[in-house]
Amino acid sequence: MNIFVTGGAGYIGSATAEALLKAGHAVTVYDSLVTGHRAAVPADAEFIHASLDDSHALAEALTSKKFDAIMHFAAFIEAGESMKDPDRFFRNNFTNSLQLMET
């Protein structure tokens, strides 16, 4: 299968991408690297450095090939920071997830 993984430069996303590759799947990682790390992306995965709030980049990535599945791990997770700036977390975690689903 050809799998599109958002947040694939984070801890859970990169571990999932690695497991998918080991299982024989093709993986495309889409990550803004705001909190993720490029070095965490498996070498055999295709990497797209872009944000989910960039509708043009997202549409281009999703139409660049046929994907069989999307696995969505992109999110801000810092609980303390979310209390200080809930609007930023809402935009990133909810609005960007909605953008992914609509695209």
Residue stretches of the chain with pLDDT short of 70: 77-78, 82, 85-86, 89, 92-93
* Assigned CATH for 2-102: 3.40.50.720
pLDDT of the residue at 82: 59
CB 53 within 8 A of CB 35: no
- Based on the number of CB atoms within 10 Å of its own CB, is 51 exposed (0-12), middle (13-18) or buried (19 or more)? middle
Q: Where are the domains of the chain?
A: 2-102
pLDDT of the residue at 98: 80
pLDDT of the residue at 94: 74
Three-class secondary structure of residue 23 per DSSP: coil
pLDDT of the residue at 86: 67
Place of tokens 């992914």: 100
pLDDT of the residue at 97: 79
Chain centroid to CA 16: 11
Residue 101 dihedral angles phi and psi, to the nearest 5°: -65, -40
